[in-house]
Amino acid sequence: MIAGNMELDMRNSVESMLRRIARTAWCKGCNEIVELLTVAEAASVAETNPPTLLLWILKERVHCSDLRGRLLICASSLQRSEAATGELDHRPG
Protein backbone atom coordinates (compact mmCIF):
# COMPACT_ATOMS: atom_id res chain seq x y z
CA MET A 1 0.00 0.00 0.00
CA ILE A 2 2.82 2.42 0.85
CA ALA A 3 4.53 1.69 -2.48
CA GLY A 4 1.28 2.49 -4.30
CA ASN A 5 0.98 5.85 -2.51
CA MET A 6 4.61 6.68 -3.29
CA GLU A 7 4.07 5.83 -6.95
CA LEU A 8 0.98 8.06 -7.07
CA ASP A 9 2.84 10.92 -5.35
CA MET A 10 5.75 10.56 -7.77
CA ARG A 11 3.42 10.53 -10.76
CA ASN A 12 1.65 13.69 -9.52
CA SER A 13 5.00 15.41 -8.96
CA VAL A 14 6.27 14.53 -12.43
CA GLU A 15 3.00 15.61 -14.08
CA SER A 16 3.11 18.91 -12.20
CA MET A 17 6.70 19.51 -13.24
CA LEU A 18 5.96 18.70 -16.90
CA ARG A 19 2.96 21.06 -16.92
CA ARG A 20 5.16 23.83 -15.53
CA ILE A 21 7.91 23.19 -18.09
CA ALA A 22 5.33 23.22 -20.88
CA ARG A 23 4.17 26.65 -19.70
CA THR A 24 7.58 28.31 -19.74
CA ALA A 25 9.04 30.46 -22.49
CA TRP A 26 11.57 33.19 -23.11
CA CYS A 27 10.32 36.63 -22.09
CA LYS A 28 11.97 39.38 -24.14
CA GLY A 29 11.10 41.98 -21.51
CA CYS A 30 12.65 40.03 -18.63
CA ASN A 31 15.40 38.54 -20.79
CA GLU A 32 14.93 35.15 -19.14
CA ILE A 33 12.84 32.00 -19.17
CA VAL A 34 9.64 32.59 -17.23
CA GLU A 35 6.41 30.85 -16.32
CA LEU A 36 3.45 31.94 -18.43
CA LEU A 37 -0.07 32.41 -17.07
CA THR A 38 -3.41 32.72 -18.78
CA VAL A 39 -5.21 36.05 -18.38
CA ALA A 40 -7.57 34.48 -15.83
CA GLU A 41 -4.68 32.96 -13.84
CA ALA A 42 -2.69 36.20 -13.93
CA ALA A 43 -5.71 38.22 -12.80
CA SER A 44 -6.19 35.81 -9.91
CA VAL A 45 -2.52 35.99 -8.90
CA ALA A 46 -2.60 39.81 -9.03
CA GLU A 47 -5.97 39.84 -7.25
CA THR A 48 -7.58 41.93 -9.96
CA ASN A 49 -9.89 41.40 -12.92
CA PRO A 50 -9.02 40.68 -16.57
CA PRO A 51 -9.92 44.21 -17.85
CA THR A 52 -7.51 45.78 -15.34
CA LEU A 53 -4.85 43.25 -16.30
CA LEU A 54 -5.31 44.17 -19.96
CA LEU A 55 -4.84 47.84 -19.01
CA TRP A 56 -1.55 46.90 -17.33
CA ILE A 57 -0.49 45.15 -20.55
CA LEU A 58 -1.35 48.24 -22.62
CA LYS A 59 0.62 50.41 -20.18
CA GLU A 60 3.52 47.91 -20.54
CA ARG A 61 3.57 47.18 -16.81
CA VAL A 62 3.50 43.43 -17.45
CA HIS A 63 4.90 41.40 -20.32
CA CYS A 64 2.79 39.15 -22.50
CA SER A 65 3.18 36.76 -25.40
CA ASP A 66 0.81 35.53 -28.04
CA LEU A 67 1.37 31.81 -28.39
CA ARG A 68 -0.77 30.10 -30.99
CA GLY A 69 -3.44 32.80 -30.70
CA ARG A 70 -3.52 32.61 -26.92
CA LEU A 71 -2.50 35.59 -24.79
CA LEU A 72 -0.17 34.52 -21.99
CA ILE A 73 1.23 36.72 -19.21
CA CYS A 74 4.79 36.65 -17.85
CA ALA A 75 4.48 35.69 -14.18
CA SER A 76 7.81 37.34 -13.30
CA SER A 77 6.84 40.74 -14.68
CA LEU A 78 3.47 40.48 -12.97
CA GLN A 79 5.08 39.86 -9.59
CA ARG A 80 7.68 42.63 -9.74
CA SER A 81 5.77 45.39 -11.52
CA GLU A 82 3.61 48.24 -10.35
CA ALA A 83 0.74 45.85 -11.01
CA ALA A 84 1.70 43.92 -7.90
CA THR A 85 1.63 47.06 -5.77
CA GLY A 86 -1.73 48.23 -7.03
CA GLU A 87 -0.39 51.64 -8.10
CA LEU A 88 -2.24 51.48 -11.41
CA ASP A 89 -5.59 51.04 -9.70
CA HIS A 90 -5.55 54.70 -8.66
CA ARG A 91 -6.38 56.74 -11.73
CA PRO A 92 -6.34 60.54 -11.58
CA GLY A 93 -9.87 61.90 -11.47
* Domain annotation covers residue 3: no
Residue 47 lies in a domain: yes
Asked if pLDDT for residue 88 goes beyond 60, the answer is: no
Q: Which domain holds residue 54?
A: 26-89
pLDDT tens string 27-74: 999 999 999 999 999 999 888 999 999 999 998 899 998 877 889 999
- Helix boundaries (H) for the chain: 2-22, 39-45, 50-58, 75-80, 82-85
| pLDDT bucket at 3, cuts 50 / 70 / 90 | low
User: Could you tell me if residue 12 is inside a domain?
Assistant: no
pLDDT band at 1 (very low <50, low <70, confident <90, very high): low
**Pairs from 47-55 (Cβ < 8 Å, separation ≥ 24):** 48/83, 48/89, 52/88, 52/89, 53/83, 55/88
> What is the pTM for the complete model shown?
0.66
Rounded-to-integer distance, Cα 71 and Cα 6, Å: 37
**Is residue 85 assigned to a domain?**
yes
Asked whether residue 76 is domain-assigned, the answer is: yes
Number of domains in the chain: 1
Give domain status of residue 15, yes or no.
no
